[in-house]
Amino acid sequence: MIIINGEKYQIDVDSNMPLLWFLRDRLEITGTKFGCGAGLCGACTVHVDGVATRACVTPVGALADKKVTTIEGLSVDGDHPLQKAWVENNVPQCGYCQAGQIMNAASFLQQNPTPSSDEIDNAMQGNICRCGTYQRIKKAIADAADELAKEVS
Ligand code: FES
C-alpha cells in the first residue's frame, strides 16, 4: 500500500516500476512530468514523506506505507504560497518543468523558510528549465518565503 495525495493505493505493478510510471500510467495522475528519465533534470520531482524525490528513478516497490505528494496534492485549490507566487510572477514559459520546480521549492522552504539568495540557488540547481525561467523562479520562491513568514508572524 502506498499513500498518494492522501489516498491509499495498492502497489499492484512490478515493484521495480518507477514511481513516475505508476503515477502517470497506472493511476493517471499526470501533473508530474517525464524529463530525462535519469534523475538529472528534476521535472519529475515529488515529495516522499515530505522530501523532494525524483519519481523517474524511484521504484514504487520501495515506497510501501510511504506518503507521496504530487503537484496535485500540494494544496487543495492551488493556493500554496508558491503556487500563488508562481502565478503573480508569470513564472512558466512552456511549463514543462514547473511542477517539479514547485515541488522542489516546497520541500526546500519547509526545511528552510527564510532562505538567502544563495541558498535558493543551491537548492534549485538540480532543476533544469529549458526555457530559462530561472530568474522568475527565484523571485517567486523569495516572494513565497516572505508570504510564509507573514503567515507565521
Ligand atoms: Fe519550459 Fe521550464 S518553463 S522548461
Q: What is the pLDDT of residues 106-120, one digit of tens each?
A: 999 999 999 999 999
Q: Give residue limits of the domains in the chain.
A: 2-73, 81-152
C-alpha cell at 54: 525524483
Q: Report how far residue 103's alpha carbon sits from residue 108's, in angstroms, rounded to the nearest whole number.
A: 9
Cα 46 to ligand 1 centroid, rounded to whole Å: 17
How much of the chain exceeds pLDDT 70, in percent?
100
Res 150: pLDDT: 87
Alpha helices of the chain — where are they, by DSSP H? 19-21, 81-88, 98-111, 117-124, 134-152
Say whether pLDDT at 151 is over 90. Answer: no
Ligand 1 surroundings by CB, under 6 angstroms: 92-98, 129-131, 133
Nearest CA residue ID for atom 2, ligand 1: 129
DSSP-derived secondary structure letter, 18 = B
Say whether pLDDT at 4 is over 90. Answer: yes
Res 114: pLDDT: 95
The predicted model gives 29-40 an average pLDDT of: 97
Fold type of domain 2-73: Ubiquitin-like (UB roll) (3.10.20)
Angle between helices 81-88 and 98-111 (to 10 degrees): 130
Q: Going by CATH, does the domain composed of 81-152 fall within 3.40.50.11610?
A: no
Cα 63 to ligand 1 centroid, rounded to whole Å: 29
Mutate to test the pocket of ligand 1, among 41, 89, 93 (most ligand atoms within 8 A of CB): 93
Say whether pLDDT at 86 is over 90. Answer: yes
Cα 23 to ligand 1 centroid, rounded to whole Å: 21
pTM (2 decimals)?
Answer: 0.96
Cα 12 to ligand 1 centroid, rounded to whole Å: 33
Res 12: pLDDT: 96
